[in-house]
Chain A
Amino acid sequence: MASIDEALFVAINGLVGRSYLVDKIVMLIISDYLVPGALGLLLLSMWFIGKSQDKREEYQIGVFVCLTSMALSNLTVLVLNTFYFRPRPFIDHDVNLLFYEPTDPSFPSNAIAATCSIAMGILGVNKQLSIVPLIFVGLYGLARIYAGIHYPLDIVGGAVIAATITFLVFKLSTLIRPLLTTVLRIGRILCVA
């Protein structure tokens, strides 16, 4: 499994340098600020959309679910990293690096776990609205392999953690829905929810 993973990484990362434009686009996509920022802005706009109060409340609870899933996914990655440390590809391989050298473990991808949680959370609320974020996260993951900072399995691992955590948070959100509804009611006094 590890050899297939590494072979796939070498094949994808080996494409670096063939097209100046693709390399530049990848360097933009893998930035710590583009995809996470865009997803955060999408969550912000989700807070306001919804033609009726009930629909808007559903979206706003979805925003809480996304943020909770993101935090729990990051926590899960942090806990996993204390048990298993996989070095970054540039430590063990001669890679074409398009990014700075991160110091945290390679598996699972923390960036993918966080962004994928948001995209999965949006998927749980509105399938149509989740298409763009899911494409963003897919490109983000692929770009991180291309740029030489993750193995494919790191990306898959991050996505699996995100999907599992988001599913569990959605299930649990029905239990804490009265609490979330109360928070939103308080927000309505200040006209922010």
Chain B
Amino acid sequence: MFTFTIDYLILIILASIGVIQLGALYGDLKGLLFFQSVALIHFVGLSLPIASFVWFFTTDARNINDYAGGLDSNIQALLFFLGALIGWVFTAILSSIINLHMKRQDLSPCQGLDSLKKTNYFNVLIFNLKYWRSNWHL
């Protein structure tokens, strides 16, 4: 049960990192990307989810009822959310380190993900938190 849970979590984390790269590429969010080459992003974005699913389904029997060691649908949903969150945090950290050179001063506080078109995640987060601490309104 524990191994199955961990395996599913690893599957979702790895696959999430790949699909976030693809989503960021199509959303033109350069600050979230690990690579500058479009072909390389496509390769990583597609191969990470495919490889994780192949690994997941080839390493053990996965068609198991939840009372026999499989995952109950609620647990599965929770693990999916957790895995996607970890994938997002990993992407935000790694892309901020890789794109450390992307520093812009002309940021707007209401842009959210759109700011990542011109800068990295940490830069936007720090800017936003400083701004909202002094000017709190929605």
Task: List residues of A whose CB falls within 8 A of some B CB.
Answer: 27-28, 30-34, 36-38, 40-42, 44-53, 56, 74, 99-103, 114, 182, 184-193
Contacts and interface: CB of A to CB of B under 8 A. Distances in A.
A182 B138 contact: yes
Interface residues of B, number: 47
Contact of A192 (B11, B76, B113): B113
Given A41-B15, A191-B115, A191-B121, A31 B20 contact: no
A6 B117 CA distance: 55
A192 B121 CA distance: 9
B15 A51 contact: no
Interface in B80-113: 80, 84, 87-88, 109-113
Interface in B114-129: 114-116, 121, 124-125, 128-129
A74 B16 CA distance: 24
18 contacts: A28-B57, A31-B57, A31-B63, A32-B70, A32-B73, A32-B76, A33-B62, A37-B80, A48-B20, A48-B24, A48-B113, A53-B112, A56-B113, A56-B114, A100-B68, A188-B112, A190-B128, A191-B115
A30 B115 contact: no
Nearest to B24: A48
B111 A33 contact: no
Contacts of A27: 63
Given A48-B20, A191-B112, A193-B112, 17 more contacts: A31-B57, A37-B11, A37-B15, A44-B20, A48-B23, A48-B24, A48-B26, A51-B27, A56-B114, A100-B63, A100-B68, A100-B70, A101-B65, A103-B65, A187-B112, A188-B128, A189-B109
B103 to A, nearest CB: 15
Interface of B: 8, 11-12, 15-16, 19-20, 22-24, 26-29, 32, 49, 53, 56-57, 62-65, 68, 70-71, 73, 76, 80, 84, 87-88, 109-116, 121, 124-125, 128-129, 132, 138
Contact of A189 (B24, B70, B132): B132
B19 A42 contact: yes
B53 A34 contact: yes
A99 B62 CA distance: 10
A47 B22 CA distance: 11
Contact of A50 (B11, B27, B128, B132): B27
A54 to B, nearest CB: 10
Contacts of B62: 31-33
Given A31-B62, A191-B124, A191-B125, A49 B15 contact: no
Contact of A185 (B11, B32, B110, B121): B110
A189 B128 contact: yes
A189 B76 contact: no
A28 to B, nearest CB: 6
Nearest to B125: A191
Nearest to A182: B138
A41 B19 contact: yes
Nearest to B23: A48
